[in-house]
């Protein structure tokens, strides 16, 4: 996770976005908050330092960041929307017991899937990305 302020600024301006305190705060909140925060989590966290930020602003900024590929959306079967600051290709471990979603990076798996779908053509479908949802339970839960 990227925690450097200048680099956060850079990400915004490189994406053609104006650098505003709200956007900085929201982006950094996503990097800091573990486990794929909800909009609500983000709002709560940010209000500590930016008490006046409007919820509408947070939702709008989140949309903008997703649009510019600075963050990703994650959704569970049951849950509300959550956000993920890791942009490298990765998968997720979902806990059936609690609401934990853990990032799961596995290059070997990526390679296997890539090879499999390179050979196996899906007729009428242009493949862009593959995300694996691994469901189960963490021992700690």
Partner DNA sequence: TTATTATATGAGAATTATTCTTAATTAGGA
Partner DNA sequence: TCCTAATTAAGAATAATTCTCATATAATAA
| Nearest approach, Cβ of residue 96 and its own copies (Å) | 6
| Nearest approach, Cβ of residue 114 and DNA (Å) | 31
84, 42 contact by CB (below 8 A): no
Alpha carbons 65 and 59: distance in angstroms, whole number: 10
| Nearest approach, Cβ of residue 102 and its own copies (Å) | 8
Q: What is the DSSP letter of 85?
A: -
* 77 touches DNA by CB under 7 A: no
Toward DNA, which CB reaches closer, 48 or 139? 48
Alpha carbons 12 and 23: distance in angstroms, whole number: 8
Alpha helices of 48-89 — where are they, by DSSP H? 55-67
Contacts to its own copies by CB under 8 A:
73-78, 93, 96, 104, 106, 108-109, 112-113, 116-117, 120, 122, 124-140
């Amino acid at each position: 996770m990227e925690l450097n302020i200048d680099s956060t600024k850079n990400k915004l301006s490189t994406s053609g976005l104006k650098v505003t305190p709200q956007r900085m705060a929201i982006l950094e909140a996503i990097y800091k908050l573990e486990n794929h925060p909800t909009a609500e989590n983000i709002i709560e966290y940010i209000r500590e330092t930016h008490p006046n930020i409007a919820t509408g602003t947070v939702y709008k900024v989140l949309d903008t960041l997703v649009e510019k590929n600075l963050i990703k959306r994650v959704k569970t079967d049951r849950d509300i929307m959550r956000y993920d600051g890791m942009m490298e290709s990765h998968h997720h471990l979902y806990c059936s017991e609690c609401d934990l979603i853990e990032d799961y990076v596995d290059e070997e798996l990526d390679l296997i899937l890539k090879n499999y779908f390179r050979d196996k053509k899906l007729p009428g479908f242009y493949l862009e990305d593959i995300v694996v949802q691994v469901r189960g339970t963490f021992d700690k839960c």
